[in-house]
Structure 1
């Protein structure tokens, strides 16, 4: 399987295999420029970027005779894509944006006339929504997961007014705030998105990408953390095989039961 391009009215992204001859890439780009130009659309060189993911030096790509800027990362549909091919940069960006959202509501967190229940609801809707945007496709390692959880814990302690020298365990903090470990939330979101994707037609590029196996040899050392490896660990822990989840995902109600069963709610939530 080959990814050639993704299209939408206002944006376009090419994902090209480095194993293809560079002439194929430039030909595809030129053809796209010609076709879009025939209906009054022009590729703007100043707004177009070129990102190389773990590849050697390649020729510069030009549009209208002007070379495209080569960048190490760029924001695409709200998510940060960088040259490493991972999601570490995106996680870091999400934390920064969520921290900004949290500071914007600082007057509310300090207001003693507002109930804790209301503050937590605002935290979930205004801060966590910014923090976990796109988390369904994150390939999380322990470092990134710890960064996200540490931020959430800090926010909850601020909301619940738990300051030094008072110390409580994280489990008690989550129980007071009606929260659960961030790993559980991300996992359930990932599985809900997975079910939605598995119900797409078999020729859907999104569904095909779940089992896409890039060719070639990886570099030496420990295998990198990937989305698929995250999922396989979760499948193993839940006792499900790929065939099982593909079948169960076709029934929305059955799949929702599976997702909820990953981490049953314990205790009363705010």
Structure 2
């Protein structure tokens, strides 16, 4: 995926800092969260992500985290241990948070807003092709709401939404 290659591009630009043994792991994690992860999740709120895409993102993220911790897969260090050492949440959670936050923004817009017309309107009289229908953005939002056990009303209320998914206040 092109977003993973964008993340690796940022990684290569910052590898001198990230791979330096004198820099603490927590500081590396903070640097990762502020530079590399946003490059990988740019525009993620609009993607109808399949589980395969999320898996590819998490694999790339763990490769980066293992690399600047100085571990390989052969060392058999669990992902949770590395995440705790670096202080980084799973990229799947962040992807879901981005999508649900954008969903709240879109839903709070007036119905005549262009973003509401383009995203949430479905055309019923179009003949579908053969095979499984393509995953849509609203279907992935519904899946996220169901997986995180959040109602639509909580997703629309900013403060309740932050409490429901444990997002720190800005």
Normalised by the size of structure 1, how large is the TM-score? 0.56
Per the alignment, do residues 222 and 193 of structure 1 end up closer, same or farther by CA in structure 2, a change over 3 Å counting? same
Residues 150, 164 of structure 2: 8 Å contact kept? no
Q: Is the 8 A contact 2:30 2:87 kept in 1?
A: no
Following TM superposition, by how much is the alpha carbon of 1:213 offset from its aligned partner in structure 2, in angstroms? 0.4
1:221 pairs, out of 102, 116, 131, with: 131
CA distance in 2, matches of 1:240, 1:156: 30
Task: Compare relative contact order (CA 8 Å, sep 6+) and give the higher one, 1 or 2.
Answer: 2
Cα displacement (A) at 1:160: 0.8
Counterpart in the other structure of 2:54: 145
Tell me what 1:161 maps to: 70
Assess, with a 3 A threshold, how the Cα gap between structure 1 residues 211 and 175 changes in structure 2: closer, same or farther: same
| Rg (Cα) greater in structure | 1
Out of 65, 80, 84, which is 1:175 matched to?
84
Specify the alignment match of 2:166 in structure 1.
260
How many Å apart are 1:164 and its aligned residue? Answer: 5.0
Give aligned pairs, total: 167
* TM-score, length-scaled by structure 2: 0.86
1-structure distance, mates of 2:67, 2:105: 36
Q: Which moved more, 1:165-174 or 1:146-155?
A: 165-174
RMSD: 2.2
Q: Could you tell me how far apart the structure 2 residues matched to 1:232 and 1:142 are?
A: 14
The aligned residue for residue 199 of structure 1 is 108
| Structure-2 change in CA distance of 1:165 and 1:257 (3 Å) | closer
Distance in 2 separating the partners of 1:149 and 1:239: 22
Return closer, same or farther for 1:240/1:218 CA change in 2, 3 Å cut-off: farther
Paired position in structure 2 for 1:130: 39
Aligned mates of 1:111, 1:197 — CA distance in 2: 42
State whether residues 28 and 86 of structure 2, in contact with CA within 8 Å, keep that contact through their aligned partners in structure 1: no
Aligned pair 1:184/2:57, yes or no?
A: no
Q: How does 1:24-103 map to 2 (within 5 A)?
A: 92-103=1-12
